[in-house]
Amino acid sequence: MTGLLASVAGGQRYWLRAPQKVKRPYVLLQLVGDDPNYHMRGASGFSSSRVQIDVYADTKAEETEISRSIKGLLSGYSAGQIQGIFIESERNLPAADAGEVNSVFRNSIDITIHHGELP
């Protein structure tokens, strides 16, 4: 799935953590749930995975542009083992702990991916 996001944030997309000296903007992805599907004879070979995508940028305009690009690329996508990607929710979040002051903008997008067995 990260290949689908190659054109956003200058190609800077990472699972779980960004490298220590990475410059913004960048995108972080995190698997927050994976629900295998079953039928009466056992596992169907399909799953529904929920992924959180966080956009970090220096300006609100840049964060908004990247978030819109991500949603445009992923919403309704299907090909190969991916049966469908759906936007579930979106929210603006602080990029720091309470009381800490910084100029980083963060947006979080939750998606659900319905897919077959992935390599």
Which CATH number do you get for residue 32? 3.30.2000.10
Classify residue 83: in a domain, yes or no. Answer: no
For the chain, which residues score pLDDT lower than 50?
none
In this predicted structure, what is the pLDDT of residue 27? Answer: 96
| Count of domains observed in the chain | 1
- Could you tell me the residue range of the domain that residue 72 belongs to? 2-78+88-116
Cα atoms found within 13 Å of the Cα of residue 40, Cβ hemisphere only? 0
The string over 67-86, giving b where at least 16 C-beta atoms fall within 10 Å of a residue's C-beta and e elsewhere, is bebbeeebeebeeeebeebe
- The upper half-sphere exposure of residue 118, i.e. CA atoms within 13 Å in the direction of its Cβ, equals 12
CA distance 89 to 84: 16
Question: What is residue 98's predicted lDDT score, i.e. its pLDDT?
Answer: 55
Query: pLDDT tens-digit profile of 30-64?
Result: 999 888 777 888 877 788 999 999 999 999 999 99
pLDDT value at position 5? 93
- Listed in sequence order, the DSSP H helices in 1-119 are 60-74
Residue whose C-alpha is closest to residue 55's, from 26, 93, 84, 19: 26
Tokens of 3: 């290949």
Residue 27 lies inside a defined structural domain of this protein: yes
